[in-house]
Structure 1
Amino acid sequence: MEIIELDPADGDLVSGAFDVMRATHAADHPESPAPHRAAFIKGLSYPPPDEDEAHFVAVEDGQVLAQLGIGMPNRANLHFAWAWINVHPDHRRKGIGTALLDHFIAHAREHGRTEITLDTHMTWEDGIERSKAGQLFLEKHGFKLALTVINRRCAVDALGTDTEQALLEKAQAAAGDEYEIISWVGRTPAELVETMARIDSTILAEVPLGDLDLEPETIDVELRNAKADRTEAMGIVPIHTVARYRLSGEVVANTAVFVHDDGEFPDAYQGITIVDKNHRGHRLGLLLKIVNLRLLRENFPHVRAIWTDNADVNAPMIDINVTLGYEIVDAGGEFLRKLEA
């Protein structure tokens, strides 16, 4: 078996890597959104501007048996790296996963990283029962659970029309006239990019991170536009709704949902919803998510469900999601290992 760095121009290996992703999804968590082929392939050619990515495949006799992806921040949190490992179900328990983990550790050390993470699906409450194989594998190799997120799914029509309208009106009343609600599909309007960059810069300071030692990263206009370029290149369409505080003209709350631009993929992904700490208590989070949900239904009628995850301790956002009809599917465990000097 060889571990080969994946060249985006090598169509056979790229197809093999995607086939492994599809097989592991079908075996391990088929209820989750399926891997999207076009987004995966395009993502290889358009890496994130704020991360250094590396992709590898384990190959034997010309066949891809497993896939390793590595991400490393390149602007802040330079001590950190994460990875994802997929081993085809037909080739497990042969040491391939361990070989790829060793490759990840060596790569991280080579680039000066001292903390690394991998994640795995886990059972949560009355959700779908997941295998413990991933968790046991990580614990065997010195990883400890650092953050638990709960994965939830919501039908786009989970709420009845009257219930949704009543929630919207209550949220509008709580918000009052101090905020202008603005929505759009696709790229952020040029006049909002700077204020959106400011609120994006607060995300890591506001979301629960468990035992992960991560500092907020300053998002500037250039970086935000570069991220938008990549999103567009991958065929992913953002749907945004924000609240702009009329007195300052600044965006103080934001939510976004992301869809694949193929007209058939039935799932959408809820991104971060964030409200400036000085503007909480006005039901802005609930207001924006309902407005954005309606925008999603209007523009993408083929989408049937929205997926989200929240840290298990993020009670305010979990309460909003439960109100909107999100139901538990499973959990994701992010496991941390600190590398020896």
Structure 2
Amino acid sequence: MSNIQIVELDPADDDLVASAFEVLRAAHAADAPEAPAPHWGNFSLGLVHPDPAEHGPTFVAVRDGEAVGLAEAGYPRRENLHFGWASIHVHPDHRRQGIGSDLLNHFIEDAKRRGRTTLTIDTRLTWEDGVERSKAGQLFAEKHGFEQALTWINRRCAVDALEPEAEQALLEQAQAAAGDAYEIVSWIGRTPEHLVDTMARIDSTILEEVPLGDLELGPETIDAELKNARADRNEAMGVNAVQTIAIDKATGEAVANTAVFAYSDPEYPDAFQGITIVNPAHRGHRLGTLLKILNLRLVRENFPQVRHIWTDNADVNAPMIGINVALGYEILDGGAEFQRKLDA
């Protein structure tokens, strides 16, 4: 079975975009039907409105005019210019024909042309008593010289996982631990202009603070221009950031932050927890728990279609896992980034 051509997906090619999305839909149904389904608007509009901090080509394996596989790739534009990532999907009807390898090799050659020397690909894994997953993705990565560098756990939480009394008690305990040193501020959508600079500063600490395993990634510098450009993209794609932060009253600086991302689509039942971060100097005051409960209530009030919030955490991130378990998050499965360093 050959006759495969690999092309970069043109967002204006409506037929091929729809065919590529069908690959994602079919792969999801075969590999992880319990996980959130691919969202057509997010996929198609994401092609039209790329991440302003990343060059993100999508390579499509085409046979007889139809997509049979795709590799969604990303190359940071600002920092980490040595790095590139790809997520590879092959339609279940066309597997075991070398299409995944063709896509991976195409990505590797593209990365080399761009001077990238450290690459990652991802796959799902079985984790503890979660849903059993195929080892095919892991074996594929290892076959091509990629080594497991970061493991994470995928969890979901019903928006009403806790009884109201239990949720309120948890909130009050967190409020007592936080005391009156912090101002709590929430919003939906764009970051208010007067908070953009302080939010850019706390966002710039994310890659320093979150566990990255053996991934070779340095800190990112987020500035107001990038934050506003990402807000423009979210608006264009119908993605709503539901955000709650803690501001240190003594300094006026944001010192803790959580965000959930929900689609405007009234039929889509899933939302996605973004990074929750607390400045190291302000840990121990239960700010993570406090912000996540208040933010959960905002999601319930403003996005009634959302039934579950999804998150993933590095397997070694015990503090955040502890908060999530207390809030009712349950394990679905695991996942991993596999890393390969190219010859210089």
2:104 maps to which residue?
101
Structure 2: gaps (5+ residues):
none
Structure 1 residue runs of 4+, over 2 Å off? none
CA distance in structure 2 between the partners assigned to 1:79 and 1:106 by the alignment:
14
CA distance in structure 2 between the partners assigned to 1:24 and 1:304 by the alignment:
23
1:226 maps to which residue?
229
CA distance in structure 2 between the partners assigned to 1:35 and 1:232 by the alignment:
19
1:143 aligned residue (127, 143, 146): 146
1:126 aligned residue (126, 129, 142): 129
2:47 maps to which residue?
44
1:198 maps to which residue?
201
1:160 maps to which residue?
163
CA distance in structure 2 between the partners assigned to 1:54 and 1:295 by the alignment:
34
The CA deviation string for residues 84-104 of structure 1, in whole angstroms up to 9 with x for no partner, is 111000000001011001101
2:215 maps to which residue?
212
Letter in 2 for 1:14: V
Once the 2 structures are TM-superposed, how far is the Cα of residue 5 of structure 1 from its aligned partner? 1.1
Letter in 2 for 1:105: I
Letter in 2 for 1:301: P
1:291 aligned residue (284, 290, 294): 294
Once the 2 structures are TM-superposed, how far is the Cα of residue 307 of structure 1 from its aligned partner? 0.2
The CA deviation string for residues 152-182 of structure 1, in whole angstroms up to 9 with x for no partner, is 0000000001100000000000000000011
CA distance in structure 2 between the partners assigned to 1:29 and 1:88 by the alignment:
13
Once the 2 structures are TM-superposed, how far is the Cα of residue 9 of structure 1 from its aligned partner? 0.2
CA distance in structure 1 between the partners assigned to 2:305 and 2:13 by the alignment:
33
Q: How does 1:1-341 map to 2 (within 5 A)?
A: 1-341=4-344
Letter in 2 for 1:202: T
Percent of aligned pairs sharing the same letter: 68
User: SS of the residue aligned with 2:295?
Assistant: helix
The CA deviation string for residues 135-167 of structure 1, in whole angstroms up to 9 with x for no partner, is 001101111100000000000000001100000
Once the 2 structures are TM-superposed, how far is the Cα of residue 301 of structure 1 from its aligned partner? 1.2
CA distance in structure 1 between the partners assigned to 2:62 and 2:214 by the alignment:
35
Once the 2 structures are TM-superposed, how far is the Cα of residue 68 of structure 1 from its aligned partner? 1.2
Once the 2 structures are TM-superposed, how far is the Cα of residue 120 of structure 1 from its aligned partner? 0.2
Once the 2 structures are TM-superposed, how far is the Cα of residue 73 of structure 1 from its aligned partner? 0.5
Letter in 2 for 1:77: N
CA distance in structure 1 between the partners assigned to 2:114 and 2:215 by the alignment:
19
Letter in 2 for 1:179: Y
Once the 2 structures are TM-superposed, how far is the Cα of residue 63 of structure 1 from its aligned partner? 1.2
Once the 2 structures are TM-superposed, how far is the Cα of residue 304 of structure 1 from its aligned partner? 0.4
CA distance in structure 1 between the partners assigned to 2:227 and 2:210 by the alignment:
19
User: SS of the residue aligned with 2:266?
Assistant: coil
User: SS of the residue aligned with 2:57?
Assistant: strand
CA distance in structure 1 between the partners assigned to 2:147 and 2:71 by the alignment:
20
User: SS of the residue aligned with 1:278?
Assistant: helix
What's the RMSD between the two structures over aligned residues?
Answer: 0.6
CA distance in structure 2 between the partners assigned to 1:233 and 1:307 by the alignment:
22
CA distance in structure 2 between the partners assigned to 1:157 and 1:69 by the alignment:
34
CA distance in structure 2 between the partners assigned to 1:220 and 1:57 by the alignment:
33
Letter in 1 for 2:82: H
Letter in 1 for 2:206: I
The CA deviation string for residues 180-227 of structure 1, in whole angstroms up to 9 with x for no partner, is 011111111111111000000000000000001111111010011011
Letter in 2 for 1:217: E
The alignment covers a number of residue pairs equal to: 341
The CA deviation string for residues 258-290 of structure 1, in whole angstroms up to 9 with x for no partner, is 001011100010000000011000000000000
CA distance in structure 2 between the partners assigned to 1:130 and 1:147 by the alignment:
17
Once the 2 structures are TM-superposed, how far is the Cα of residue 302 of structure 1 from its aligned partner? 1.2
State the TM-score, normalizing by the size of structure 1. 0.99
CA distance in structure 2 between the partners assigned to 1:274 and 1:168 by the alignment:
18
CA distance in structure 2 between the partners assigned to 1:61 and 1:121 by the alignment:
30
